[in-house]
């Protein structure tokens, strides 16, 4: 696999504040690479250094093999960018924006196809100001895809969108990757990073505190997973004894919770279910709760992510 | 080149969709013409040495008014708003050159100003049978010089002011007294002599002088001071607006 982005010791300060403090990572071709962290963690600054919009104070950055500061002009033909704070004129219509931006590139894909792919066909003649947040973001993705880029940056793509629009955008991002493009995105939604990204860098105060696949990050936490179910009546003593072998037991009325360590040989849930069936116990509402990236962030920084 | 044409056409459509700027450029001067036309008709304005009727004096003056308004308002507001709202930021991520962005603005406002002046001249001709003693090409040249030097002021304001709101307020504060005192909104001769002296410090005065002169057929040579001031403004405008251009 080819390395698309290489960052080595990137640093950027604003006054006395280090927005990005010695960050290094690589992104491989075809990945959805996520940067996640609270506001002010340095996600946008990092992305803007990669896009060539900001000049790093020190460190080296290579995007598609070139330095974005020196060869920004050639890079913008091969890279699509969606920015956190950008706009189009209020009265510009959707098709006009695509048509105009097409004229900036020597070779661009057919915007009429993008319009269909991104589900904007009905909004073709709508002015920018009349679009919903999700529609605006879809238009920005379409603009970013115009040069048929190898790499696409999506900065805080779903901030301010309702959950339904957010899920629709996730599907689009997966589509983009399926077309062979590499995606680098930033988000402050842990759930988004977990569901969407192949690898995630967790940023806090300008540093990468962890970088791996979401599953590995969660696994490394050795956090507890929980199995919860309800019984009709009280817990039989034989079952109570057997369950406490599997993990820490907690009984609240009819509801039973078993806390078990992650990374066991037999998954906690199958152990619990087999005990229940062995003893012929009627149970209902059985569910498991896994630790999430949210828990990972909490255990790494000692703070909760806040939106 | 393709992007310049597309962008100019796009900006033209956006200009016409913005009711305020379209009104002040295209309609408002006509309204002024009809108001003053109904006051003075074909008589000359008291105090002017012009042998022409009031309308003959007013058309070049109103041309200056259109130039002043378009140079200060749409140019300043569009560019400052584009920067503040991140519209320029989005453009920056494409291969498009800042010169294309600036040139498209200049072309649109120039064409719209020209359209406003054309409507004014046609109305003057058809309704008031106004007399034109100048040379059409000379007049067009004067109009071009005046417009471009005034757009320069707009570009400078857009570049120097911290945000769109401030730029708009400063543009208005500069524009209104200038319209009144320079003789663009009504003949300067109607104002007291002391007030007329102030007008020497206003850039729009030189536009009024040059255009009124060219309208009655005076040569460029008799307006060297006006031309000098306007060329100076143009050069300054180009240099400063290119130097102060910021994407964000």
Reported as a single tens digit per residue, the pLDDT across A254-283 is 888 888 765 667 778 888 888 888 888 888
**Edge-to-edge strand list for the sheet holding A58-63:** A17-28, A3-14, A58-63
| Domains delineated in chain A | 3-219 (3.40.50.300), 224-290 (3.30.70.980)
Top-confidence residue, B30 or A238: B30
User: A83 and B96: CB-CB below 8 Å?
Assistant: no
What number is the average pLDDT over the span A109-136? 92
DSSP state of B23: I
Q: What is the pLDDT of residues B4-55, one digit of tens each?
A: 999 999 999 999 998 888 898 899 999 988 888 888 766 666 655 555 667 7
Residue B36: partners with Cβ closer than 8 Å, 6 or more residues away: B54, B55, B58, B186
Domain count for chain B, please give it: 1
Cβ of residue A272 closer than 8 Å to a chain B Cβ: no
Report how far Cα A137 is from the mean position of its chain's Cα atoms: 16
Are A234 and A255 a contacting pair, CB within 8 Å? Answer: no
Tell me the mean pLDDT in the region A191-200.
92
Nearest 10 degrees: Cα torsion B173, B179, B182, B185:
-160
Does A91 contact B95 at a Cβ distance shorter than 8 Å?
no
Shortest distance, CA A262 to any CA of chain B (angstroms): 45
Domain assignment of residue B63, yes or no: yes
Please give the structure tokens belonging to residue B216: 């009655």
Question: Rounded to a whole number, what is the distance in Å from the CA of B153 to chain A's nearest CA?
Answer: 23
Residue B115 CB neighbours (<10 A): 15
Identify the pLDDT of residue A66. Answer: 92
A91 inside 8 A of chain B by CB: yes
* Residues B32, B33, B39, B40, CA torsion sign: positive
DSSP A142-189: HHHHTT--SEEEEESTTTT--HHHHHHHHHHHHHHHHTT-EEEEEES-
Interface contact flag, B14 A103, Cβ < 8 Å: no
Which candidate from B10, B82, B87 shows the least CB-CB separation from A96?
B10
CA distance B100 to chain A (A): 10
Q: Is residue B144 domain-resident? A: yes
By C-alpha distance, the chain B residue nearest A89 is: B87
Q: Would you state the pLDDT for residue A21? A: 93
Q: Which of A76-90, A170-184, B49-63, B138-152 has the lowest mean pLDDT?
A: B49-63
CB A142 within 8 A of CB A111: yes
Q: What is the mean pLDDT of chain A?
A: 88
**DSSP tag of B93:** T
Q: What is the mean pLDDT of residues A129-150?
A: 93
The predicted structure's pLDDT at residue A110: 94
* Percent of chain A scoring above 90 in pLDDT: 49
Has residue B112 been placed in a domain? yes
Domain, as residue range, for B111 = 2-40+51-244
How far is Cα A282 from Cα B73, in angstroms, rounded to an integer?
A: 77
Q: What's the pLDDT at A7?
A: 95
pLDDT reported for residue B58: 84
Rounded distance between C-alpha atoms, residue A225 and residue A219, angstroms: 10
Distances (CA, A) of B177 to A307, B148, B172, B184, B195: 49, 21, 9, 10, 11
Nearest CA in chain B to A105: B95
Whether residue A129 lies within 8 A of chain B, CB to CB, comes out as: no
Run of H or E residues at A191: helix A190-196
| B227 in a structural domain | yes
Q: Which residues of chain B have a CB within 8 Å of the CB of A81?
A: 93
pLDDT class of A224 with cuts at 50, 70, 90: confident
Return the pLDDT at A153. Answer: 95
The per-residue pLDDT for range A15-47, each reduced to its tens digit, is: 888 899 999 999 999 999 999 988 889 999 999
pLDDT computed for residue B55 by the predictor: 77
Could you say which residues of chain B have pLDDT below 50? none
Indicate yes or no: CB of A51 within 8 angstroms of CB of B93.
yes
Tell me the CA end-to-end span of chain B in Å, nearest whole number: 24
All residues of chain B having their beta carbon less than 8 Å from the beta carbon of residue A101 are 94
* ipTM for the assembly: 0.85
Domain contains B46: no
Whether B45 is covered by a domain: the verdict is no
Judge whether residue A120 has pLDDT over 80: yes
Identity of the residue in B3, B10, B95 whose CB atom sits nearest the CB atom of A76: B95
Q: Does B10 touch chain A (CB under 8 A)?
A: yes
Are the beta carbons of A112 and A142 closer than 8 angstroms? Answer: no
pLDDT band per the 50, 70, 90 thresholds, residue A95: very high
From CA B192, how far away is CA A231, in angstroms rounded? Answer: 98
CA distance B53 to B56: 5
Instruction: Look at residue B104 in the predicted model and tell me its pLDDT.
Output: 93
Q: What is the rounded average pLDDT of the residues A129-134?
A: 92
Residue-wise DSSP of B169-197? HHHHHHHHHHHHHTTSSS-GGGS-HHHHH
């Amino acid at each position: 696999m080819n390395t698309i982005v290489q960052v080595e010791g990137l640093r950027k300060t604003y006054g006395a504040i280090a927005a990005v403090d010695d960050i290094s990572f690589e992104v491989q071709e075809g990945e959805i690479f996520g940067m996640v962290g609270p506001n002010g963690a340095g996600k946008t600054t990092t992305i803007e250094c990669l896009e060539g919009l900001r000049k790093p104070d020190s460190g080296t950055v290579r995007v598609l093999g070139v330095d974005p500061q020196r060869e920004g002009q050639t890079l913008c033909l091969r890279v699509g960018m969606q920015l956190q704070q950008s706009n189009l004129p209020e009265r510009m219509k959707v098709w006009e924006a695509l048509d105009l931006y097409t004229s900036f590139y020597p070779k661009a894909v057919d915007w009429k196809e993008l319009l269909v792919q991104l589900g904007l066909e009905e909004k073709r003649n709508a002015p920018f100001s009349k679009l919903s947040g999700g529609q605006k973001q879809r238009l920005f993705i379409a603009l970013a895809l115009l040069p048929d880029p190898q790499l696409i940056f999506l900065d805080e793509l779903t901030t301010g969108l309702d959950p339904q629009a957010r899920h629709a955008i996730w599907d689009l991002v997966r589509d983009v990757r399926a077309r062979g493009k590499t995606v680098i995105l930033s988000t402050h939604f842990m759930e988004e990073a977990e569901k969407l990204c192949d690898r995630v860098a967790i940023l806090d105060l300008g540093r990468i505190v962890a970088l791996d696949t979401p599953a590995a990050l969660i696994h490394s936490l050795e956090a507890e997973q929980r199995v919860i179910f309800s019984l009709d009546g009280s817990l039989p003593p034989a079952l109570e004894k057997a369950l406490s072998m599997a993990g820490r037991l907690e009984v609240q009325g009819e509801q039973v919770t078993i806390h078990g360590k992650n990374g066991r040989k037999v998954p906690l849930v199958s152990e619990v279910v087999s005990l229940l069936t062995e003893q012929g116990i009627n149970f209902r509402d059985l569910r498991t709760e896994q630790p999430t990236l949210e828990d990972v962030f909490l255990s790494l920084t000692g703070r909760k992510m806040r939106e | 080149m393709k992007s310049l044409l597309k962008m100019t056409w796009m900006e033209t459509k956006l200009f016409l969709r913005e009711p305020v700027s379209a009104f002040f450029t295209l309609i408002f001067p006509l309204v002024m013409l009809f108001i003053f036309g109904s006051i003075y008709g074909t008589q000359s304005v008291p105090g002017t040495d012009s042998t022409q009727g009031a309308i003959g004096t007013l058309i070049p003056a109103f041309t200056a008014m259109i130039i002043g308004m378009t140079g200060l308002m749409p140019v300043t507001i569009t560019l400052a708003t584009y920067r503040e709202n991140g519209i320029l930021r989005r453009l920056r991520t494409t291969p498009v050159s800042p010169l294309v962005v600036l040139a498209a603005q200049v072309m649109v406002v120039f064409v719209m100003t020209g359209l406003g002046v054309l409507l004014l001249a046609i109305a003057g001709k058809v309704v008031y049978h106004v007399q034109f003693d100048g040379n059409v090409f000379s007049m067009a040249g004067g109009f071009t010089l005046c417009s471009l030097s005034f757009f320069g002021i707009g570009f400078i304001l857009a570049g120097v002011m911290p945000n769109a709101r401030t730029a708009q307020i400063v543009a208005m504060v500069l524009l209104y007294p200038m319209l009144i005192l320079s003789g663009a909104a009504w003949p300067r001769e109607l104002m007291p002599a002391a007030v007329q002296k102030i007008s020497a410090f206003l850039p729009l005065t030189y536009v009024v002088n040059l255009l009124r002169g060219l309208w009655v057929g005076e040569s460029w040579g008799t307006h060297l001071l006006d031309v000098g001031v306007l060329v100076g403004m143009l050069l300054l405008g180009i240099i400063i607006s290119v130097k102060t251009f910021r994407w964000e």
